[in-house]
Chain A
Amino acid sequence: MELAGTEAVFFYILALFTLVMAIALVTAPTAVRGALYLMATLIGVAGLFLLLHAEFVAGAQILIYVGGVVVLFIFVIMLVNIRAEINEPFRTYTRQRRLAAVVVIVMVLGVWYFGIQQDPFHLVRQGPVVALIPPPGAPPPPVEEPTLGGRISEDTQEVGSVLYTKAALPFEIASVLLLVAIVGSVVLARTRRQEETFD
């Protein structure tokens, strides 16, 4: 995919925003702040989906992850420890600094090797901002024929039909997995005393 013009500008802004928020998420001092940064990260990713013209996926991402999952996260965090973490903050960093440093170096080298040496992704060579500001005498840029809002892009239809045909089995397996996770967490969270009370 070639990046140029406004698309490139938006891509870099969104990508940077997502990365910064992801770093803020893992270094957040309290769990509620962490959930907020997670929300920001997910919104950034939804913006990246929009850039890929996957509008439906972007909408579903916000509806399910931000509106559902993060809300439930915060719900659980508020139920579990309301003031405990402020009184005694948990350790954000472990002592495995050397291991972490090695992993990061390997990853950076890998990105450098595959991304820049082999150049599989057609990186942008020209400054993206140039396209935004045409020189004074230049003719106005051709106005694209606006696509009507009603059309659902074919990708979305394809996602839908694949979900119900080829991906039906993995989809069902994933839902059973989620159910198992919910049942398991309930079983783990209930104490023996509660069980006896309910029985």
Chain B
Amino acid sequence: MELVERIISNPVMMEYVWKPLVVILILLFIVLTLVAYLVYAERKVSAFIQARLGPMRVGPYGLLQPLADLIKLLLKEDLIPAEGDRAIFKFAPIMSVVCALVVLAVIPFGWGVATITDINIGLLFILSVSSVGILGIILGGWASNSKYPLLGALRSSAQMVSYEVAMALALVGPLMFAKSLSMTAIVEAQRADHIWYLLYQPVAFLIFLVAGVAETNRTPFDLPEAEAELVAGFHTEYSGFRWSLYFLAEYTNMLISSAIAVTVFLGGWSFPLLDRLRPEHPGLFTLLSILVFAVKVFVLIYIFMWFRWTFPRYRYDQLMDLGWKWMIPATLANILITGAIIMIGQETLGLTKVTGGEYGERLVVPGLAGKAYFIGMAWLVLVPLTWIILAIINRRSYDFNLRAQRQIRLPERPATDDVFGKV
């Protein structure tokens, strides 16, 4: 008994087991509630765009709809295909959800206590854990032992492997300025410099946003679950709670994609003029920083939902062409041109300096002239140059040029039948 007591109430266990457990419980409660309401928001936004009302019956303005949905999902029958691989079938959705939720640990939701952990490979950690999440979808599709899930799984794995490359490469540009993979260090670098990296890296932001939509399997990239061709894609055979786990993972991933975009490109929880509050009212500052982060994330999520009701679904070859012929070359060009811009600004013009701070080395642009140089170069040189490079690479492709596609003529068959036909 005494040994058990010593194990439970010793400072090491307190610091590394009990405290993190409490934080995890709080975070999970908040995020899972949020995700449930994201589904509600999705339905309301789609209703708004289509001039409908959306869910209105359960509670005022349908606000209790997520609760009703949850109860419905829990009460549904849990079907497992007879010939499928039962163990993997049960394991796959859990894997998807775990990979989505683990990532939440390193996202800086705000200043101070709201930054739960800060590890020095933060961004790399997020990318690698979410790449494992793909396996959940593939295995779920395979274990169902049915042709539609298998096709959906094959599509999704090809799509995600392709767009992950573009996503990771797009993040290299802003990292050249921040010089760190830690999420907090990236936010701090932007806050201290009074800049959002969106202004320095417009191409990378656009590509990250598109790749983020593709990674979360949302329209226009929702080919893995294209209902017209594949019933429901990889989760055709799933029902009840296991099905809702996949949805949970998908919406959490949407949240995470926007959180990364906000952290890397939109200054995270920092906001102009808010810093003056920090020395005198640290508590208020923490609260406001969380609020700022949440507002930025929700603006991006609204854009994701807006995409869904604006763009039609891509064809599969268009999807692959967009990934490999447009986005990956664009990210590579972005890295090269950004490197050149930084080098010219640093070596020739002397506009920057590298300082070590609380969070290690970073690139600082002190003067207004330097900021004007980087922003001007980004929008007036980087964007047109990338555009030209893409145009040169794709000068003979008909991927998105419907007019040209219509005019493609199949090679005419030799008209042997007409001339020497019936001898």
Residues of A with C-beta under 8 A to B262: none
Residues of B with C-beta under 8 A to A78: 138, 142, 150, 153-154
Asked if B25 is at the interface (CB within 8 A of a chain A CB), the reply is no
Interface string of B162-192 (1 = CB under 8 A from A): 0010001000000000001111110010000
Interface string of A96-112 (1 = CB under 8 A from B): 00000000000000000
Asked if A152 is at the interface (CB within 8 A of a chain B CB), the reply is yes
Inter-chain contact A150/B6, CB cutoff 8 Å: no
The chain A residue sitting closest to B123, CB to CB, is: A59
Residue with the highest number of chain B CB atoms closer than 10 Å, among A67, A71, A132, A141: A67
Inter-chain contact B359/A151, CB cutoff 8 Å: yes
Give which listed residue, B6, B131, B138, contacts A68 with CB less than 8 A: B131
Inter-chain contact A152/B120, CB cutoff 8 Å: yes
Residues of A with C-beta under 8 A to B397: none
Asked if A153 is at the interface (CB within 8 A of a chain B CB), the reply is yes
Inter-chain contact B185/A150, CB cutoff 8 Å: yes
Interface string of B103-143 (1 = CB under 8 A from A): 00000000000000111111011011101101100110010
Asked if B284 is at the interface (CB within 8 A of a chain A CB), the reply is no
Inter-chain contact A71/B120, CB cutoff 8 Å: no
Asked if B157 is at the interface (CB within 8 A of a chain A CB), the reply is yes
Asked if B343 is at the interface (CB within 8 A of a chain A CB), the reply is no
Inter-chain contact B120/A63, CB cutoff 8 Å: no
Asked if A187 is at the interface (CB within 8 A of a chain B CB), the reply is no
Inter-chain contact B128/A133, CB cutoff 8 Å: no
Known: A67-B131, A75-B158. A149 touches B153 (CB 8 A): no
Binds A, one of B7-15, B294-302, B367-375: B7-15
Inter-chain contact A153/B120, CB cutoff 8 Å: yes
Asked if A62 is at the interface (CB within 8 A of a chain B CB), the reply is yes
Give which listed residue, A66, A83, A153, contacts B128 with CB less than 8 A: A66
For chain B, what secondary structure do more than half of its interface residues adopt (helix, strand, loop), or is it mixed?
A: helix
Q: CA–CA, A67 to B121, complex, Å?
A: 16
The chain A residue sitting closest to B87, CB to CB, is: A33
Residues of B with C-beta under 8 A to A63: 124, 127-128, 131, 168
Return B81 CB to nearest CB of chain A, in Å: 13
Asked if B380 is at the interface (CB within 8 A of a chain A CB), the reply is no
Inter-chain contact A55/B121, CB cutoff 8 Å: yes
For chain A, what secondary structure do more than half of its interface residues adopt (helix, strand, loop), or is it mixed?
A: helix
Q: CA–CA, A147 to B188, complex, Å?
A: 16
Inter-chain contact A74/B139, CB cutoff 8 Å: yes
Interface string of A117-156 (1 = CB under 8 A from B): 0000000000000001110100011010001111111000
Asked if A32 is at the interface (CB within 8 A of a chain B CB), the reply is yes
Q: CA–CA, A32 to B87, complex, Å?
A: 12
The chain A residue sitting closest to B119, CB to CB, is: A149
The range of chain B's interface size is 35 or more
Asked if B399 is at the interface (CB within 8 A of a chain A CB), the reply is no
Query: Which A residues, 47 to 99, have Cβ-Cβ distances below 8 Å to chain B?
Result: 55-56, 58-60, 62-63, 66-68, 70-72, 74-75, 78-79, 82-83
Residue with the highest number of chain B CB atoms closer than 10 Å, among A58, A59, A78: A59
Asked if B20 is at the interface (CB within 8 A of a chain A CB), the reply is no
Asked if B51 is at the interface (CB within 8 A of a chain A CB), the reply is no
Inter-chain contact A134/B10, CB cutoff 8 Å: yes
Return A199 CB to nearest CB of chain B, in Å: 15
Asked if B358 is at the interface (CB within 8 A of a chain A CB), the reply is yes
Known: A36-B139, A150-B360, A151-B360. A66 touches B121 (CB 8 A): no
Residues of B with C-beta under 8 A to A27: none
Asked if B85 is at the interface (CB within 8 A of a chain A CB), the reply is yes
Asked if A6 is at the interface (CB within 8 A of a chain B CB), the reply is yes
Interface string of A166-193 (1 = CB under 8 A from B): 0000000000000000000000000000
Asked if A39 is at the interface (CB within 8 A of a chain B CB), the reply is yes
Inter-chain contact B150/A82, CB cutoff 8 Å: yes
Inter-chain contact A71/B118, CB cutoff 8 Å: no
Known: A59-B128, A63-B124. A79 touches B138 (CB 8 A): no
Asked if B73 is at the interface (CB within 8 A of a chain A CB), the reply is no
Inter-chain contact B185/A71, CB cutoff 8 Å: no
Inter-chain contact A62/B180, CB cutoff 8 Å: no
Give which listed residue, B117, B138, B359, contacts A71 with CB less than 8 A: B138
Inter-chain contact B180/A152, CB cutoff 8 Å: yes
Interface set of B (CB-CB < 8 Å, partner A): 2-3, 6-7, 10-12, 15-16, 85, 88, 117-122, 124-125, 127-129, 131-132, 134-135, 138-139, 142, 145, 150, 153-154, 157-158, 161, 164, 168, 180-185, 188, 358-360
Interface set of A (CB-CB < 8 Å, partner B): 6, 30, 32-33, 36, 39, 55-56, 58-60, 62-63, 66-68, 70-72, 74-75, 78-79, 82-83, 132-134, 136, 140-141, 143, 147-153
Besides A39-B135, A78-B142, 10 new A-B residue pairs in contact (Cβ under 8 A), listed by A number: A30-B85, A55-B121, A60-B124, A71-B138, A75-B154, A78-B153, A78-B154, A133-B6, A148-B360, A151-B360
A-B pairs with beta carbons under 8 Å apart, 20 shown: A32-B88, A55-B121, A56-B124, A59-B124, A59-B128, A62-B132, A63-B131, A66-B132, A67-B131, A67-B164, A72-B161, A74-B139, A75-B161, A148-B358, A148-B360, A149-B117, A149-B120, A150-B180, A152-B180, A153-B120
Query: Top 7 closest A-B pairs, CB basis?
Result: A67-B131, A150-B359, A149-B118, A150-B185, A63-B128, A59-B124, A62-B128
